[in-house]
Amino acid sequence: MQSTTKYLLGTSSALVLSAAAMLSAVQPANAQATNGLYFGGSTLASEAFRQIFDCYTGATVGNDGFSFSASFNAAGPTPGLLPAACAGVDTTVQGMYAGVGSGNGFRGYISNTPSQWYSGNVTAGSVVATPFPAAQPPYVDTLNSTNFGSYPYPRVDVGLSDSPLASTLAALTTAAFSFTPSANWASGGATATTQVAVGSSSPVSFNVAAWGNPVQLPAFEVPVAIPVNVNSTLLTINSQIKSGGAIVTGGAIQLSSAQLCAIFSGLVTDWNSVATIPTLSSTGTVVNQAFDYTNVGNGVATAQPYASASLPISVAYRSDGSGTSFIITNYLKAVCPLIDPTDTYKYKSIFGAANLPSTSFSNLISNIAAARGNGPWNAASTVAGAWAGSSGSGGVQAAVGTAAAQAGRIGYVSGDFVKPYAIATNAPYAASVQNEAQRIAGVTTPATAATTLTFIPPTPAAVDLAWGDTRLTPPSATSTWANWNVYGINFASTEPLHGGVAVAGLSVLPLTNQTGAYPLSGTTFMATYSCYGNATNGQNLLNFLNWYYQYPTSDVNVKNILNNNSFSPLNKQWLTAVQAVYLTPGTGVALALASGGSADGCTGVTGGANP
């Protein structure tokens, strides 16, 4: 990578990195940073941001599992490796990331309280094991424990979630629990408190007067993969695609949108099933077919059951507040009711309910239980006990797994938690998914040729095609944070029928008819404050954001790292909008420092976040 002198980074106060910071870039990669950036939230984004931070500093944190290597392949993926070209943009600044889940990430952000960045769920009045973040990526640095060995963090800089912030200030509230002890739960990277007492919670509102307006910036383009454990002698997956004996990206199984609706509505619960499910033709006509209708390929033209004997479809889902749950329920809410317009199969009742999309997958489960009634569905809301929740993306990854005892499990995670992008050895392979362009073109089953992958795999290129839909228009300079909710960008009332189906008013991303687009696409939002009160901390954050969002110069390492994790940087129209609205002084809404420079973002603010 070019020397740091290239990165005279634009900020809201038109300052550049200090001479000391520029000189520090030539220090060895193990030079210890002293200034921190503190991010917390989405586990979907956690591994990618750990790598982005490593590149920015030019050094890894203890036990994060990554290493700078000349073997890093930009055409990848090469899991676990970082570009050797990451020489460090600012070696004095180190980013720390607490993977606590999207819901908890926004709790800490709204309350501006780092102790709210805990993993899982807690109950007032209980004594619980210390609610540390997920172990990977590490939330403290054992190699630099003097500066980054304690948790909770000293402050909140950015909260991250794959679901959007509430659209009004009145709704930006959270129930923030109090914790005892108030001291660090982890100290010096070695000692840790094993339990904390959970006090009462009270509503906490976002404080505009103290921190400025809320800001939510799409961080990158995300494909949510459908992992499937195919390790069973019972399974016969004709649509599986291999190369050199290994399953390729998205090649574990090929599933239509109709099959996903059947699985995630509890209509079909066994891989051996040949039950009737509704599908949509290229003209929008409902056609009833057997569940196994896409199980063709590799020279087999006649569908057969996926399993030779009963093998339950066990759904692994997120039990915590999850933005990944929001993305998949947003997809299901948009797609499934169109397949069952008369509610014969209860899709409208299940997916069309007002409580979806949601960060809580239990909302969907409750809807299924209500619609399906007794039988395998009961008050516990799991089908024959097969559906099971796990905390964090890593939890779902492990729950689906690769072991024979877990065969038939299916779930949803970001693309960096499935092979070939994942680091973990127990990472499953993912499905390829039929998109709307294929349905409209009459491509309803996989091709039978052995080398053809018909449906769409969760890749950086495929998610970028979804984001390339021109109807997914970024907000203007006069927008508020609510306008940056990409899931809330709907087709206009004048949108023509898509293959005989009316999509006007529905979410663009899951129903885009772009050729090659991956339909389960979304983003991770970086929630920031518009005003930062501490000149040093705020300036470091602005420098990082300007580098990350590629202004004024471009660092190919950002793109390469994101691609290596299955993600894609924001496309040009969205990247330009972020730069123009929030990172360029004089727009009236740009991020700012209360201590000087442009007043953008600090107008009427009495303090600024993290003074």
Q: Dump pLDDT digits (tens) for 543-585.
A: 999 999 986 678 999 999 999 999 999 999 999 999 999 999 8
> In the predicted model, is pLDDT for residue 12 greater than 60?
no
Average pLDDT over residues 396-418: 96
Q: Each residue of 321-352: pLDDT tens digit? A: 899 999 999 999 999 999 999 999 999 999 99
Q: Each residue of 273-286: pLDDT tens digit? A: 999 999 999 999 99
Rounded Cα distance between 335 and 329, Å, is: 10
Asked if the peptide bond before residue 181 counts as cis, ω within 30 degrees of 0, the response is yes
Q: Nearest CA to 331 among 305, 298, 369, 361?
A: 361
Rounded Cα distance between 117 and 114, Å, is: 6
At 81, is the pLDDT very low, low, confident or very high (cuts 50, 70, 90)? very high
Residue 378's pLDDT is 54
Residue 297's pLDDT is 92
Q: Each residue of 159-173: pLDDT tens digit? A: 999 999 999 999 999
Residue 374's pLDDT is 60
Residue type, 599: A
Max mean pLDDT among 22-36, 137-151, 595-609 falls in 137-151
At 188, is the pLDDT very low, low, confident or very high (cuts 50, 70, 90)? confident
Average pLDDT over residues 206-226: 96
Model-level pTM?
Answer: 0.92
H or E stretch including 507? none
Q: Are strands 409-410 and 388-390 parallel, antiparallel or unpaired?
A: unpaired
> In the predicted model, is pLDDT for residue 4 greater than 80?
no
Classify 508 as helix, strand or coil: helix
> In the predicted model, is pLDDT for residue 29 greater than 50?
no
| Cβ-based neighbour number of residue 452 at 10 Å | 11
Residue 373's pLDDT is 77
One DSSP character per residue, 537-588 reads HHHHHHHHHHHHTT-SS--HHHHHHHHHTT-BPPPHHHHHHHHHHHSSTTSS
Average pLDDT over residues 400-427: 96
> Are 428 and 397 within 8 A, CB to CB?
yes
Residue 597's pLDDT is 66
pLDDT over 70, % of the chain: 91
At 31, is the pLDDT very low, low, confident or very high (cuts 50, 70, 90)? low
Q: Each residue of 218-268: pLDDT tens digit? A: 999 999 999 999 999 999 999 998 888 899 999 999 999 999 999 999 999
At 451, is the pLDDT very low, low, confident or very high (cuts 50, 70, 90)? low
Which phi and psi angles does 406 have, rounded to 5°? -105, 10
Residue-range domains of the chain with CATH = 4-219+523-593 (3.40.190.10), 227-457 (3.40.190.10)
> In the predicted model, is pLDDT for residue 20 greater than 90?
no
Q: Is 244 exposed, middle or buried (0-12, 13-18, 19+ CB in 10 A)?
A: exposed
One DSSP character per residue, 326-391 reads HHHHHHHHHHHHHH-TT-TTSHHHHHSSTT-S-S-HHHHHHHHHHHH-STT--TT--STT--EEES
Residue 6's pLDDT is 28
> In the predicted model, is pLDDT for residue 17 greater than 70?
no
Residue 563's pLDDT is 97
Strand order in the sheet with 195-205: 127-129, 195-205, 173-180
Count of positions (residues) in the chain: 611
Residue type, 316: A
Q: Each residue of 434-450: pLDDT tens digit? A: 999 999 999 999 987 76
